[in-house]
Amino acid sequence: MARPQRRPHERGTRLFETVVAGCTDSRGADQAFRRALELTRAAGGTLHIVCALGDSHDGPPPHLPSEFRHTAAGAGRTEWHMYQLRFRAESAQVRVETHAVLAPPADAITKIVADEGADLVVVGTGSGHGTRQLSGVPKAVMDSVSCAVLVV
């Protein structure tokens, strides 16, 4: 009996090749980011970090001298946070892309999931009270995407 012929390695055949992680500066989101980073590194994939920009997008601090306004130090809180997460991912030798999306958090995450054809989304519970109850963001993401969702 002949052995089945192996197919060449194609995109999408590795588990969790494209991972999306929503980020905020909360403890739960940091735990989700760390888990997403571990999974992406183990799979050899690409980590997409998504930050939702609200209606009142934060800019550089008003007291910052003008020569620093167009550097990482002059970034708003959201951009600075994404910069730090990118640095952490690159330091762990993980391919990373950042996405700042002008939308509510769940919409921002689901947009990038669709745009990038994600295999996995990693989000925090969204509960800042130490409980394991889901807030609206992870619920909305789970209801809106067709890929796997890991809630940390």
Rounded to whole angstroms, the Cα distance separating 66 from 87 reads 24
Rounded to whole angstroms, the Cα distance separating 106 from 129 reads 20
Note whether residue 8 is domain-resident: no
The answer to whether residue 149 scores a pLDDT higher than 90 is yes
- pTM, two decimals, is 0.76
The answer to whether residue 29 scores a pLDDT higher than 70 is yes
The answer to whether residue 2 scores a pLDDT higher than 80 is no
Find the mean pLDDT for residues 45-68: 68
Quick one: tokens of 51?
Answer: 């930050």
Which domain CATH number covers 39? 3.40.50.620
Note whether residue 10 is domain-resident: no
Min mean pLDDT across 9-18, 42-51, 87-96, 107-116 is at: 9-18
The answer to whether residue 10 scores a pLDDT higher than 60 is no
Strand 18-22 versus strand 46-53 pairing type? parallel
Rounded to 10 degrees, the C-alpha dihedral 68/86/122/142 comes to 50
Question: Which of 37-51, 79-93, 134-148 reaches the highest mean pLDDT?
Answer: 37-51
The answer to whether residue 130 scores a pLDDT higher than 50 is yes
Rounded to whole angstroms, the Cα distance separating 107 from 33 reads 18
Rounded to whole angstroms, the Cα distance separating 4 from 10 reads 17
The answer to whether residue 129 scores a pLDDT higher than 60 is no
Note whether residue 66 is domain-resident: yes
Note whether residue 115 is domain-resident: yes
Note whether residue 13 is domain-resident: no
The answer to whether residue 116 scores a pLDDT higher than 50 is yes
**Number of independent structural domains in the chain:** 1
Note whether residue 31 is domain-resident: yes
Note whether residue 5 is domain-resident: no
Note whether residue 137 is domain-resident: yes
Find the mean pLDDT for residues 2-16: 50
The domain of 93 spans 18-151
